[in-house]
Structure 1
Amino acid sequence: MSRINRPYPRALAALLLTVVTVLTVGALGPGGASAATVGSAELTSGWALHTATGLAATGATISRVGYPTAGWNPVALPSTVLAGLVANNVYTNIYAGTNLQSVPDLTGQDWWYRGQFTAAAATSGQVYWLRLQGVSYRAQVWLNGTQLDANAVGTFVEHEYNVTGAILPGALNAIAIRVTPPRHGCSDLSACTVDWNPEAPDMNAGIWGRTLLDTTGPVAVRDPYVRTVLPLPATNAADLTVYADAINATAAPATTTVTATISKPGQPTITASQTVTLAAKERREVVFDPAGYPQLHVANPLLWWPYQFGNPELYQLTTAASVAGAASDSKTINFGIRQFTDYRTTVQGTSFAGYKVNGQPILFRGGGYVWDLLQRWNTKTNKTHVDYVKAMGLNTIRLEGTLGNQELYDLADAAGVMIMPGFVCCSAWENDSGWTAEQTTVAQASLSTQMRALRAHASTFMWAYGSDQPPTAAHLTAYKNIAAALHWQNPTVDNVATWSNPNAGMKMDGPYKWEPPVLWWDLSRAGSAFGATGEEGTEAPPPLESLSRFLTPAQTWPVGNATWNYHVGRAGSVFDNTDVYSKALSQRYGTTTSAADYSKKSEVMNYENTRSFFEAWSAREYTQSFGAIWWMQNNAWPSLHWNLYDYYFKPGGSFYGTRKATESLHIAYDYFTRNVYVVNSTLAARTGLTATATVLNIPDLAQKYTTSVPVSAPANASASVLTLPAVTGLTSTYFVRLQLKDAGGATVSDNLYWYSTTPDALGNKSNWYSTAVKTYANLTGLNSLPSNTGVSTAVSRSVAGGQETVTITLTNTSATNIAFFLRPEVTAGNGGTEVVPVSYTDNYVSLFPGESRQITAAYATADLGGLPAYLRVRGYNIPTASLPVP
């Protein structure tokens, strides 16, 4: 059977189906020629998993129809080995406590996957293709007793086979795949989680990607792609170049007409065709460019814009091949007309990369995304990740080696969220000076596969060839040659760490442990907000409700026990504890006395830290700062370190601190200089604004200082609008309230800080993951806020199409006391857990006496699990209350 190791981008609509509908495109061609069946079926069901140890049968036998699988574990693909065993309850509740340690090493043996499926009936000229989009790490592939591949190697390499000679058309077929797992310690070019959680006991061995059976005529189409060039700085036209590979599946020359059709509702349809003759088995790139096809010069296109800049407009490309007038194959993708470019600016003596989209500078703001530890995913999970990124006001998802989830890319395209992909650090991927010949081949094939998939997506804005360190010169040259051959149109960087490569364009100077908010603003400190950062972040214990899902009460308190630390970072690394974080929490907010007290205070500290981080990067945009990635966006399993939202999708302090910092029009406080900034993250200027800064004592809210200034907010810019003086007569802990109002007096940004007359002070000692703290801010005055029982709540609900929207109005009726850090939550049942995933228009809000705030929450009815909806309201100084949602 012929083998092709190249990827195939799918249409968005196809991704949302478990089985892609198989279509017959036309019954007859001219002269009565029979048309081929054109389509694709995902082989998800009818599979079983078994260890190869002790199994005497060979692939030639196992891949025969009717081979008995009694005693095998039924699995649905995609599935890693461990995911399949967990689904069959061989190992249970492995994310709780230290249960994962009870799973034995699963990498010392091979594993058989066996499936049966019915193939589409044959027509004249029918060709069948088997495509494996993700197998880890190496595999023997068998179909109906015939070996297709003795060594399909590479986690991120797509393997494709013309199986026409082995298939049983219109009948039951059997496939068997013997998988050899990757080695532990990130020793193979596979998925790798480095130090942020324990390794999966199977190292994510198995069939993690989609398994597809395609049917075509004699010529197949692969990898359609549209390259966009705008006449920058103008955007009133676009030159589109369409690329697609045509494959002659036969042993004789074939003449095919390839047609490219570009369409979008309300826009003119563009069509271009060319006829080519392919040699036997030839694969050739077919190109349509504006020089030969003037219709590909598009006037006044609708552009794809990232979130906060505009609409992520998408067009559709259908590339079809016909032979003798009969349809042979067709592929459809969505694409965006947009152009990303990069530039360099020297800051603090180092050259940093900045990026523009459609000629407009854009500050990339995002987090480092990871898959579930067992690489399980579905559409709902993928969509929630993208939705949460937008809900936090971020515009970027970084993929450090977490590649291949093409549905995530499609969802990002539609949402206007940028994708920042590249290879992973601290593993065989970076230890490339000693690669074997096979590893070199695998690395290059992996890049080709992943770039072919990513290049077609509007959301992809760059590629990083390396992470902490650049590849060797030889490998880097080979990588860049592959990118050029694939017409990769987006910027690239050699790696994202200036400590190893001064010309990297991005830094990775830490910190990775907790630091006070002032660090992000102090430009003399490693990790502060200048240049562009590939990643940095701190510990972020999730809310108590989530902690209780994977830790027992004894494991939750006191913190720092062995089980607690097991969920922090890789054992034996500097990240296997939260000692730095927990010390800072008690020093700043007062000694923690229980799990509930620890959680309450940690939510406040997480909020202030992520808020300050993204504010500092935004405040200096395009002059000193060009983009920042928080390490991490989410966790691969229930974790206490590095996240903006936890494994269970419960949004906490980090989530809402980020959301506050990145609102489209925002007023922010610089902890280091006491400057106040107004940041406009949109492409529309705002005038007639007023910025007000007020300093108040705690707990009596006595006003010690206030000032107001008129403000204009230029588009896509930040400006310092005032500086707070040194105010006397303050209590040890005090509030700084910043408000930005429009000409009509409506509040467009309301931002409350709590700080101290003894501020955080950084020490002189630092390393790659932390900077010492000399003294901690005294924020214990928050504990003296009087209990406020005067918060009233009104709630209503609307239901439509399986979605619910709850409108919440919170009012502080107290005449004297603040309602600090209020957290409304829609719960499943009275006293139940918060319904997730969920979207709130705001949360963790603080109300001064007499103030009200309206918040809406949106979620799926099904996520209530059949329980009634309740609203729980809690806060730092208010009693918890729960009431039914009518």
Structure 2
Amino acid sequence: MPVSRKHPRLLLSRLFVILLMAFAMGVVDAGGATAATLGSTELTTGWALRSAANVTDTGATISQVGYSTASGWNPVTLPSTVLAGLTANNVYQNIYFGTNLKSVPDLTGQKWWFRGEFPAAATTPGQVYRLRFKGISYRAQIWLNGTQLDAGAVGSMVAHEYDVTGLINPGAANALAILVTPPVHDCKDLSFCTVDWNPEAPDMNAGLWGRTLLDTTGPVALRDPYVRTVLPLPATNSADLTVYVDAVNATNAPVTTTVSGTISKPGHPTISVSQNVTLNAGERREIAFTPAAYPQLHVTDPALWWPYQFGSPELYRLAISAATGGATSDTKSIDFGIRQFTDYRTTVNGTSFAGYKVNGQNIMFRGGGYVWDMLQRWDTRTNAAHIQYVKDMGLNTIRLEGTLGNEELYDLADKAGIMLMPGFVCCSAWENDSGWSAEQAQVAVASLDSQMRALRAHASTFLWTYGSDQPPTAAHLTAYKNVATALHWQNPTLDNVATWSNANAGMKMDGPYVWEPPVLWWDTTRAGSAFGTTGEEGTESPPPLESLRRFLAPADLWPIGTAFNYHAGKPGSVFDTIAPFTNGVSKRYGTATSAADYSKKSELQNYETTRSFFEAWNAHQHTQSFGTIFWMLNSAWPSVHWNLYDYYFKPGGGYFGSKKANEPVHISYDYATRKVFVVNSTLAARSGLTATATVYNIPDLSQKYTTQATVTASANASTQALTLPAITGLSTTYFVRLRLTDSVGATVSDNLYWYSTQADTLGNKSNWYQTTVKTYANLTGLNSLAANPDVTATATRTVSAGKETATITIRNTSTTAVAFFLRPEITAGNGGDEVVPVTYTDNYLSLWPGESTTITAAYQTDDLGGQAPYLRVRGHNVPTASIPLP
């Protein structure tokens, strides 16, 4: 089990004192023998960073205890990349603002020293010390206490481990020196690569990006525990569990060890297994406990792990230990879920697509492509916010295209019921594998082994993709699959996720990657529309004005220019501008006159885009569509391209459009056929529902058409409720309001569309990232909505354990005017920024005359920054008002 990172910045001196006190007391087993000190300490503090360009001392010297880093070195906290360490020391400042990143020089043309000192536990008979590096990028020479451990550690995603028992200074200080050679630019090494998502980091993420650990064990260490779970599908009333763990003999003589494990969960019987094993000198062996040999591993009535919206993500605990000579030599523990993912194929429009089941139930995976901070910085608060936002948007999946190694995110996904779709990245050395060197082939296999070991035990992992845009060559694919077999990988795999390069891929990647009107997702004759299974597609998505102001100077906010577009895709790529999105705004909503006007209209378009995207995929689920990934979930830095929420966690139009579309039970409108669907994304059927569709002219809100239909929403299915006819006499811009109510009239789903008698139409030209737009809808009628000053808001607040919940009631007291696209926000102070991260039960609301609604907002007190909370409400035709929260 990974060491907790809840308090990663404790002073090492304090840790050292605590450890020495514990070690001095000794640990005595029942037989009277002194046991080894057991534990795993993350080496986070006491480190320094320096360019090797002007360092003449050798690694043997730098790795001596007491070597001075007082001059010319920058103190850093691990994990850290080179650039992360330099920015933490203000060598480069505010690099995400404007075009400041351009001022950072290329940092890959030199090597970099990381040096740290740390204490080690006092020695006991049989004590073993092991150093583990979870991630070094790209090459490293490693010294400990004057001795070189490795002259050529290579591979950003390869874990490295060393037995340092003979080199450690027990009960004293020790020194590590690591000389890092960065990856080369343009994704030419098997390193981390963001392709065209953003500018490349000037250091290409060189450094010790993963956790660095000192493990202390007895003669036998345990590694990579894992429980494989198999259900007798379609039944789920039992499960066969197989427990695997590697045992490592760290001595130069045979050792007999007893490996024992327990599987437990409150309210369920505890399972115990044990076996004796003799390991040869230096041997690492996989130990297996199978149901055939241990019948207790056949579990009846298991508590199953279910993804979000399907049920509870139940987890069990595996605790496993190795004992030698009557003393505990090592222990490990993990949480795991009893569940089984399976795949199937369905042909749609002549192409074979992959679909997935969990515990025998069809599941429509829907999610976004995750990327960590450009400098690969993350922490528990950030990881938790990502998981919280994914769930709040009604998504159930995160794709990790090469963004592998944030193991805390995996743990949080397990607990939240969020599925993970990991795999290697596209458009880089990872896919240009036909010309690999022998070293690259070895690095690729070792990378897969390291990452699959980290992922295989997680209940959340449902798929591994060996390639993205293109499949690996046959030889490398065979090598990859051999790794998966050896590791007992229990989940489906895909060779790649793009049918354009592999007809049998099972997923398509036919774009778009720039803005398209909502009708594209619904028109299943078009590339990128909602049929089959897609590995990714998405659009530009400029964040709200409040966020734009955080990374752009006032002069760069408007008109859109160089600095603004620098925060689109990678410079020099086809994505280094958001012109298609801006064209959509200008031609549909009217040419923007200022940054504020542009943002106001962008929010409408972002909402439209993501809502229609997920609605189209959901409406066809399990018949024509089987899974979709929006490109992207978030962004590596403040970006105006590809995200459902921005770098600062401020939720905007894209976020709330996704949240609306992915309601558990949702009513939606098909822009292409005028059909109305009710989508039930849960495993419980809903009967006695009524779907109502009403069409209104703008600006007078005169009703032009209304209809109703009784609906039974089958579990985990989409149901067509009705079809709107062609309606005459409509204003150029009009409203379509859909409502779904239950048998007592309570609202289940309320959804408002704005559209035009001049519809969006698509052109005949299409490529891998764009379909041309022939005509644009005329939505300028929204600008003629009557101003509505008659919106009132009240709020109450509860505070508990550092968390706050605001209950907000908003009323439209006007008798004639709609309150359109209302945005309630909890702000830090009167007129301050929105507190983030924050979740709302609903947002971007619209209220008809006389209507009211109540929502809640949840956030952390600490995120107010000491300011009093206020409620700010504004809308498309509603002036801004702010009141204090009581």
TM-score by length of 2: 0.98
Residue 580 of structure 1: aligned partner: 580
Equivalent residues in 2 for 1:191-206, closer than 5 Å = 191-206=192-207
Give the C-alpha shift of residue 26 in structure 1: 8.4
- Structure 2 unmatched ranges of 5 or more: none
User: What does 1:149-228 align with in structure 2 at a 5 Å threshold?
Assistant: 149-228=150-229
Corresponding residue number in structure 1 for 2:849: 849
Q: In the TM superposition, what is the alpha-carbon distance from 1:27 to its structure 2 partner?
A: 2.3
Q: Does 1:293 align with 2:294?
A: yes
Structure 1 match to 2:277? 276
Task: Report the equivalent of 2:415.
Answer: 414
Q: Which amino acid aligns with 2:268?
A: Q
- 1:634-713 to 2 correspondences below 5 Å: 634-713=634-713
Q: Contact conserved, 1:740 with 1:750, CA < 8 A, in 2?
A: yes
Q: Deviations over 1:302-336 (max 9, x none)?
A: 00000000000000101100001100000000000
Residue aligned with 1:386, SS: helix
- The secondary structure found in structure 2 opposite 1:535 is coil
Distance in structure 2 (CA, Å) of the matches to 1:681 and 1:813:
35
> CA offset at residue 31 of structure 1?
3.5
SS, match of residue 32 in structure 1: coil
Cα drift, residue 17 of structure 1 = 5.5
Show the counterpart of 2:140: 139
Cα distance between partner residues in 1 of 2:794 and 2:292: 63
In structure 2, C-alpha distance between the alignment counterparts of 1:36 and 1:500, rounded to whole Å = 55
Q: Which amino acid aligns with 1:321?
A: A
Hey, what's the Cα distance between the residues in 2 that align with 1:216 and 1:17? 22
Once residues 121 and 362 of structure 1 are traced to their aligned partners in structure 2, the CA distance between those partners, rounded to angstroms, is 52
CA distance, structure 2, for counterparts of residue 673 and residue 122 of structure 1: 75
Which whole-Å CA distance do the structure 2 matches of 1:794 and 1:306 have between them? Answer: 36
Amino acid in structure 2 at the alignment position of 1:465: Y
Residue in structure 1 matched with residue 122 of structure 2 by the alignment: 121
Q: Deviations over 1:720-747 (max 9, x none)?
A: 1100000111000000000000001000
Q: Which residues of 2 match residues 468-479 of structure 1 at below 5 A?
A: 468-479=469-480
Query: Which residue is equivalent to 1:65?
Result: 65
Name the counterpart of 1:373: 374
What letter corresponds to residue 301 of structure 2 in structure 1? Answer: N
The CA distance in 2 between the partners of 1:145 and 1:725, in whole Å, is 81
Specify the alignment match of 2:365 in structure 1: 364
Is 1:837 the equivalent of 2:837?
A: yes
What's the CA shift for 1:883?
1.3
Summarize deviations over 1:433-481 as a string: whole Å, max 9, x none. 0000000000000000000010000000000000000000000000001
Which AA in structure 1 matches 2:607?
Y
Is this contact kept in 1: 2:323–2:329, CA < 8 A? yes
Secondary structure of the corresponding residue to residue 269 of structure 2: coil
1:542-581: CA deviation from partner (whole Å, max 9, x where unpaired): 000000000011111011x111111111111110101111
Q: Would the aligned equivalents of 1:685 and 1:714 in 2 still touch at CA under 8 Å?
A: yes
Aligned: 1:535 with 2:536? yes
1:382 equivalenced with 2:345 (yes/no): no
- Asked whether 1:10 is paired with 2:11, we answer no
CA shift for structure 1 position 267: 1.1
* Matched residues, number: 876
2:773 is matched with: 773
- TM superposition shift of 1:14: 6.3
Deviations 1:607-644 (A, max 9, x none): 01100000000000011000000000000000100000
Letter in 1 for 2:862: A
After superposition, residues 458-607 of structure 1 pair within 5 angstroms as 458-559=459-560, 561-607=561-607
Matched residue of 2:648: which SS?
coil
| 1:403-432 superposed Cα distances (whole Å, 9 cap, x missing partner) | 000000000000000000000000000000
Distance 2:566 2:599 in 1: 18
CA displacement, residues 74-101 of structure 1 (integer Å, 9 cap, x when unaligned): 0000000000000000000000000000
Relative distance call for 1:15 and 1:334 in structure 2 (3 A) is farther
Q: Distance in 1 between matches of 2:123 and 2:335?
A: 30
Q: Deviations over 1:14-65 (max 9, x none)?
A: 6775679978798223542211111110000000001111100001000000
Give 1:796 deviation, angstroms: 1.2
Instruction: Answer yes or no: is the 8 Å Cα contact 1:345–1:354 preserved in 2.
Output: yes
Write the letter of the residue equivalent to 1:603: E
TM-score (norm 1): 0.98
Q: Look up the equivalent residue of 1:10 and give its one-letter code.
A: P
| Aligned-partner Cα distance in 2 for 1:797–1:140 | 56
Is residue 762–residue 772 contact of structure 2 (8 Å, CA) maintained in 1? yes
Amino acid at match of 1:334: D
Contact 2:8 2:44 in 1 (8 A): no
1 CA distance for matches of 2:31 and 2:298? 36
Mean Cα deviation higher: 795-804 or 14-23: 14-23
**In structure 2, C-alpha distance between the alignment counterparts of 1:405 and 1:601, rounded to whole Å:** 36
Correspondence 1:764-803 to 2 at 5 A:
764-803=764-803
Deviation per CA, 1:326-363: give whole Å up to 9, x if none. 00000000000000000000000000000000000000
- 1:6 paired residue number: none
**AA matched with 1:783:** N
Does the Cα contact within 8 Å between 1:26 and 1:326 map onto a contact in 2? Answer: no
> Any conservation in 2 of the 1:18–1:42 contact (CA below 8 Å)?
no
d(CA) in 2 for partners of 1:622 and 1:582? 35
8 A Cα contact 1:763 1:773, kept in partner: yes
Structure 2 counterparts to residues 705-724 of structure 1, below 5 A: 705-724=705-724
Following the alignment from structure 1 to structure 2, what is the Cα–Cα distance between the partners of residues 15 and 485? 33
Q: Residue 821 of structure 2 corresponds to which residue in structure 1?
A: 821
Runs of 4+ residues deviating >6 angstroms? 19-26
Counterpart contact for 1:15–1:407, Cα < 8 Å: no
CA contact (8 A) 1:138 1:151 kept: yes
Structure 1 distance, partners of 2:8, 2:664, is: 35
Partners of 2:154 and 2:535 in 1: CA distance: 30
The amino acid across from 1:267 in the alignment is H
Q: Which residue of 2 aligns with 1:48?
A: 48
The RMSD of aligned alpha carbons is: 1.2
Q: Which whole-Å CA distance do the structure 1 matches of 2:427 and 2:571 have between them? A: 16
3-state SS, counterpart of residue 37 of structure 1: coil
Partner of 2:335: 334
**How far apart, CA to CA, are the structure 2 residues paired with 1:271 and 1:248?**
23
8 Å Cα contact 2:5-2:380 kept in structure 1: no
The code of the aligned residue for 2:690 comes to T
Report if aligned partners of 1:650, 1:836 keep a CA contact under 8 Å in 2. Answer: yes
Taking the aligned partners of 1:308 and 1:655, their CA distance within structure 2 comes to: 18
Tell me the equivalent position of 1:4: none
CA spacing shift, 1:398–1:15, aligned 2, 3 Å: farther
In 1: Cα distance, 2:772 partner to 2:814 partner: 41
1:357-393 superposed Cα distances (whole Å, 9 cap, x missing partner): 0000000000000010000000000110111000100
Deviation at residue 200 of structure 1 after TM alignment:
0.3
- Equivalence for 1:78: 79
CA distance in structure 2 between the aligned counterparts of 1:740 and 1:426, rounded to whole angstroms: 44
Report how far residue 265 of structure 1 moved: 1.1
C-alpha distance after superposition, 1:469-514 (max 9, x if no partner): 0000000000001100000000000000000000000000000010
* 2:880 is equivalent to residue 880 of structure 1: yes
Over the matched positions of the two proteins, sequence identity in percent amounts to: 73
Alpha-carbon separation, structure 1, partners of 2:30 and 2:562: 74
Structure 1, gaps ≥5 residues long: 1-8
In the alignment, which residue of structure 1 is the partner of 2:394? 393
**1:749 maps to what in 2?**
749
Q: Secondary structure at the match of 2:687?
A: strand
